[in-house]
Chains A and B, each alone.
Chain A
């Protein structure tokens, strides 16, 4: 398993030591959770899923006035400018 690739997908920097440690731990954990593969779900799971509740929707109305919460929410952000959250360029 490619710990390196996973770390990139998960957007987490890992030290070389931690990569090695995770590699070993993952082998043990994956070996354990692979016990699921022997469980017989047949096609039964499929039929059961149809009864499952789907998304609960609400109508898109009664919006609060624009900017009502902006100041409070921006207080948590590390960098802001003119009422916006500020980040580095996405495309270089």
Chain B
């Protein structure tokens, strides 16, 4: 039996019909990883107990849990009890998680098998995984190019057929951009839809755990397992509207008006093609404007570093992680943080410290918070007239390794289409939109109103089947 191009949906059927065991399925992916990971570096660690865990599930008997026997990859910033969780950093190279993230608990009770932990930009800061302390992840479609970031390892693991689904985390675009670069589906859920308990914090008012998979349906299956209110995260919400919103097929889609000059010509063409696909599917199409989104990236690079500088203060060589000895306690801190953090992490902590410091706080931090509200209001206005918005995911396809590594600002501009939805806490999904003339994947972003994930799935599935036909 060929297991190529297997999806979660198909694998679950094979398992239920007893055509394959969970152990066989896991062994297939472990073999793929062994073959490909050396060159791609998607996984930082493959769990030695994966096969045993799968065998245990086989012995328990095949029930009907939604992810029973499904091999998955987990981003290296989501805690799995007893496993190392390094957040792509030297600081946590030997840190063993003392508890399960809520999303992990839910995956476990749904029967998922964890294959390993995936590479990422250090503490989820970056758009290429080049900021990982453990080397960059290469794009499975072209090994001279980046996989995107920060969840580049998870995206590459899915794209190289090294798992059936993965968890990533999205703060400014960290699920959607790598999904787009690697040609897979990436869902950034509504802020609060998935518990952040057990996700190593980067910028807490933006961070969300989300699903990455080969198809929209698979991303939906994973999301439905991990979503929901959690007493361990006071910003999490129950999501009663998921299945109740009406989907009558006459949805209105707004096409984002943007400056086409800064975007690959083939991505602009792909956007036009996508709009036509939706029109042919019977959706009402109109052009929409978000007047303040031009401020999204500068706004993000004030608010996110501010939160980073505060969240990463916990890494001091006292409670866990790396320790470097100095002559005094303060020197212990300073030496530990010098040795443990990479250049981009240091840059962001410093930037955050700057925008929060006396004399600059009002001009930068307070101003950015106000603009964040303006962007939110822009979306509210737009969603009075349309049900969803489409836009590019990234201004370019996967770029060459090293191309942007020495220019932090260039790297920040990768977030230009992904940061706006985060400003407003909205759900947004990247779906594959075909390949450019060099054979590199292009993504389409769909943005919905808060807790409108079901709209994303509905629209995404229709788009997926139509774009594959054309």
- Are A and B part of the same complex? yes
Task: Please report A residues at the B interface, Cβ cutoff 8 Å.
Answer: 1, 3, 6-7, 9-14, 18, 22, 25-26, 28-30, 32-37, 39, 41, 44-45, 48-49, 55-56, 58, 69, 72-73, 75-79, 85, 87-90, 92
Tell me whether B288 is interfacial, beta carbon within 8 Å: no
Residues of A within 8 A of B349 (CB): 10, 12
Contact of B96 among A36, A49, A55, A75 (CB under 8 A): A75
Output the least CB separation between A46 and chain B (Å).
8
Residues of A within 8 A of B309 (CB): 10
A34 to B351, CA, bound (A): 13
B window 406-435: CB within 8 A of A: 408-409, 412
- Please tell me which stretch of B59-67, B238-246, B321-329 contacts chain A, meaning at least 4 of its Cβ atoms lie within 8 angstroms of it: B321-329
Chain A: CB-nearest residue to B330: A11
Would B370 and A56 count as touching, CB distance under 8 A? no
Known: A33-B299, A36-B295. 5 other contacts (CB 8 A): A3-B350, A10-B309, A32-B409, A33-B298, A39-B374
Tell me whether B250 is interfacial, beta carbon within 8 Å: no
Contact of B353 among A6, A25, A72 (CB under 8 A): A6
Output the least CB separation between B375 and chain A (Å).
10
Contact of B364 among A36, A49, A76 (CB under 8 A): A36
Output the least CB separation between A18 and chain B (Å).
8
Would A11 and B337 count as touching, CB distance under 8 A? yes
Given contacts A25-B347, A48-B377, contact A36 B328 (CB under 8 A): no
Residues of B within 8 A of A3 (CB): 350
**Using a Cβ cutoff of 8 Å, how many contacts connect chains A and B?**
127
Chain A: CB-nearest residue to B298: A33
Given contacts A11-B316, A72-B98, contact A39 B295 (CB under 8 A): yes
A79 to B316, CA, bound (A): 12
Would A56 and B350 count as touching, CB distance under 8 A? no
Interface flags, B307-339, vs A, CB<8A=1, else 0: 001000100111111010000111011110110
Would A39 and B350 count as touching, CB distance under 8 A? no
A9 to B330, CA, bound (A): 11
> 30 A-B pairs, CB-CB below 8 angstroms?
A1-B354, A6-B357, A10-B349, A11-B316, A11-B337, A12-B337, A12-B349, A13-B334, A13-B338, A22-B346, A26-B350, A30-B354, A33-B299, A33-B301, A33-B302, A33-B364, A36-B368, A36-B371, A39-B367, A48-B373, A56-B235, A73-B98, A73-B319, A75-B96, A76-B96, A76-B320, A77-B320, A85-B318, A87-B332, A89-B329
A78 to B301, CA, bound (A): 33
Tell me whether B95 is interfacial, beta carbon within 8 Å: yes
Output the least CB separation between A69 and chain B (Å).
7
Residues of B within 8 A of A87 (CB): 318, 329, 332
A32 to B333, CA, bound (A): 31
Output the least CB separation between A54 and chain B (Å).
11
Residues of A within 8 A of B333 (CB): 11
Tell me whether B292 is interfacial, beta carbon within 8 Å: yes
Output the least CB separation between A63 and chain B (Å).
14
Residues of B within 8 A of A92 (CB): 328
